[in-house]
Copies of this chain bind each other. A is one copy, B any other.
Amino acid sequence: MYKASVRVTLRSSILDPQGKTTHHALENLGFERVERVRIGKFVEMWIDERTQEDAERMARAACEQLLANPVMEDFEISVEEG
């Protein structure tokens, strides 16, 4: 069994209203040294494949077909035994 951890982030050219709102909330709490906030998704998948390469290939296909919007989002995958 492998565990794939996927970070899905908005491309930098795409506005991020959720990140802006969080940034303002942090400023109101006194976190004035936070300059910028971006919010993305973190997806964990447990994959029953025989090799780490197969698990990574499956995770990449899942991102391309479902988890990430190719127009607006980028993704990064890391796979470990688990």
Q: Which residues of A contact B (CB under 8 A)?
A: 1, 5, 7-9, 22, 25-26, 29, 31, 33-49, 58, 61-62, 65-67
The interface residues of chain B lying within 8 Å CB-to-CB of A47 are 33-35
The interface residues of chain B lying within 8 Å CB-to-CB of A22 are 43, 66-67
Q: Which of A25, A26, A34, A62 has its CB near the most chain B CB atoms (within 10 A)?
A: A34
A43–B26 alpha-carbon span in the complex (Å): 13
Q: Which of A25, A38, A45, A48 has its CB near the most chain B CB atoms (within 10 A)?
A: A45
Do B31 and A61 touch across chains, with their CB atoms under 8 A apart?
yes
Do A41 and B39 touch across chains, with their CB atoms under 8 A apart?
yes
The interface residues of chain B lying within 8 Å CB-to-CB of A37 are 43-46
